[in-house]
A and B are shown apart, each in its own frame.
Chain A
Amino acid sequence: MSRRIRTWVLLLGGLGVAVLLFAASLDLPEFGGDRHPYGARAVEAALARHTANVVAAVNFDQRAFDTLGEESILFCAALGTVVLLRQTRDEHRVRPEPARVDPPVRRYALVALPVTLLIGLYVVAHGQLSPGGGFQGGVVVATALHLLYIAVDYRALERIRPVGLYATADAAGEAAYLLLGAAGLVAGTAYLANFLPYGTFGTLASGGVVPLLNASVGVEVASGVVVLLASFLDQAVEIEDATEHTASGPARHPTLPPPSEEKPT
């Protein structure tokens, strides 16, 4: 099919979908309306279980089983990426060179690193009280570690980032979620039911299992993102194709100096 015919088919299909979407949006509940039956019930249930952040209550209490699926997707995607981006037989690793970083960038990143790390941990720990939780906080924690790459170089990042350890932590976070669910069965209720005492409303220990599930998700997301980024960064910085290396020179990360000509062992 030529490019032109393809564009016409696309426009025809797009027009059809547009008409259907327009007709459907006329029938949707009015924007900004007052009737939210599920929302009202979710708020009631969250308050009954002393969880101030209703979104966290929906995710980790009322819909905890769905979140298990979501977390498993994250786990499988991280696993798939690691498998896809592993070093193959015809590739070899080049040790990254130390890089020069402008002093203002270094200063800023080194100041921002501990602050970002603390904010990430705060967001995970206060998931049941304020906006945030394991998913958001986990990403912030992983970002904080990568500020070291900006502040120093890839070697410094590798020193604080043993990928094997983070991969294990990723699996441990997933396992902790599964086991917390099974603990509900042992306690005599259902799988992933909120079996712990609900605590005082508005305190760190409120919400029953919500803070624990949040913490396990935080561990999984933080280490999952670290492992994901490690696979991509390894491809960009360390792993090189043998033919590419001799022919045109490999693509390197812009912050690193040009590749040296020495053959790696």
Chain B
Amino acid sequence: MSVLPYLVAGWIFLIGCYGLATSRNLIHAVGCLAVCQASTYVLLLAVGYRDGGTAPVFSDLRPGARPVVDPVVQALTLTDVVVGATVTALLLALVVQVGKRHGTVNPDELSELRG
């Protein structure tokens, strides 16, 4: 079952997309987008995993003593988390304004344009 972690990442992505498409509340939709993004964390960390590997931190580990997991994908995941958090904040700010201006956060009721 060496593909299981990749399949889990794919499943998280698809379930997030399903929630995003069927959502009836924009706050819920922002949460679903965060779920979609979480699949990329799982995928990146799965790509970088190594059997028996430990964290790539050498403060108390002699270099070469043990295999370490891939630090490059971990750094990418950190970038991913930061960008995800800030984009979520920005989207929630938009939802606050939509809720104030239109009186609803149901995307199905937000069809008309307003200047």
**Which of B13, B70, B83 has the most A CB atoms < 10 Å from its CB?**
B70
Do residues A84 and B96 form an inter-chain contact, with CB atoms below 8 A?
Answer: yes
Do residues B7 and A241 form an inter-chain contact, with CB atoms below 8 A?
Answer: no
Do residues B79 and A67 form an inter-chain contact, with CB atoms below 8 A?
Answer: yes
Do residues A58 and B71 form an inter-chain contact, with CB atoms below 8 A?
Answer: yes
**A235 CB → nearest B CB, Å:** 6
Task: Indicate with 1 or 0, residue by residue over A218-236, a CB within 8 angstroms of chain B CB atoms.
Answer: 0001000000100110010
Main SS class of interface, A: helix
Check A160 for interface membership: any CB of B closer than 8 A.
Answer: no
A32 and B21 CA atoms in complex are apart in Å by: 34
In the complex, chain A residues whose CB is within 8 Å of the CB of B18? 10, 14
- Nearest-neighbor residue (CB-CB) of B21 within chain A: A10
Do residues A6 and B72 form an inter-chain contact, with CB atoms below 8 A?
Answer: no
In the complex, chain A residues whose CB is within 8 Å of the CB of B110? none
Task: Indicate with 1 or 0, residue by residue over A43-68, a CB within 8 angstroms of chain B CB atoms.
Answer: 10011000011110111000100110
Contacts A52-B59, A77-B90: A70 and B69 contacting too (C-beta < 8 A)? no
Chain B 40-56 residues near chain A, CB threshold 8 A: 46-51, 55-56
Check A39 for interface membership: any CB of B closer than 8 A.
Answer: yes
A137 and B26 CA atoms in complex are apart in Å by: 30
* Chain A contact residues, CB within 8 Å of chain B: 6-7, 10, 14, 17-18, 21-22, 24-26, 28-34, 36, 38-39, 42-43, 46-47, 52-55, 57-59, 63, 66-67, 70, 73-74, 77-78, 80-81, 84-85, 129-131, 135, 202, 221, 228, 231-232, 235, 241
Contacts A21-B10, A78-B86, A202-B59 given; 13 further ones with Cβ under 8 A?
Answer: A10-B22, A14-B14, A17-B14, A25-B10, A30-B2, A33-B50, A39-B70, A54-B57, A74-B86, A78-B89, A84-B96, A85-B97, A135-B81
